[in-house]
Amino acid sequence: MTKLPTSPPPSNASKAMRSNRSSGTKPELALRRELFRRGLRYRIALQIRLQDRKVRPDVVFTRRRIAVFLDGCFWHGCPTHGRMPSDPTGYWHVKIARNRSRDVAVDSELSAAGWTVVRVWEHEPAAEAAERIQGIVGSL
C-alpha cells in the first residue's frame, strides 16, 4: 500500500471535507429509489468477505451475486469530472491514485470470487444507471 504524504495543513475546506458522507448521498439515494421503483430488491452496504479484504458495495443483489459501487467523481478520479486539487504536498494525488488502484483490486477479487461488479459514476443519471443494472440483473 502506498504511504500517503503528510496531510495538508488545516484549511477552511477541512471542515467541509470532514462532513462528506460515505453513504446515503443524494446520488446513492436516487439510484436506490430508481432500482426499487423498477421492482428490484437489494441489500445496502452488505459486507462481502474476500480472501484478502472485506468490501461493502453500495448496493448488493445477493442471489445474483452482483455488487454495485457508486463512485464519487472527486474521490475516485472520474476522467470526465474529477478535478485534482492544487496541493503542494502531493497528498491528494496519492490519495486518489490509491483509491483508483484499490477499486481495480476490489473489482478483480470480486470477479475471481464469482461476483459481477458494476461501477456507476455519481454524475450518471439514476434512470440510466438503473437501466444498466436492471439489464445485468435480468441477464444473470
- Express each pLDDT in 49-73 by its tens digit: 998 899 999 999 999 999 999 999 9
The number of angstroms, rounded, from the C-alpha of 120 to the middle of its chain's C-alpha atoms is 7
pLDDT bin (cut points 50, 70, 90) of residue 82 is: confident
C-beta atoms surrounding 72 within 10 Å: 20
* Paired sense of beta strands 66-71 and 116-121, if any: parallel
Poorest-pLDDT segment among 91-95, 111-115, 121-125: 91-95
- Express each pLDDT in 97-122 by its tens digit: 999 999 999 999 999 999 999 999 99
Which cell is 42 given? 437489494
Specify the pLDDT at position 86.
80
Supply φ then ψ for residue 108, to 5 degrees.
-65, -45
* pTM to 2 decimal places: 0.82
Which cell is 103 given? 477499486
Distance CA(31)–CA(120), nearest Å, equals: 10
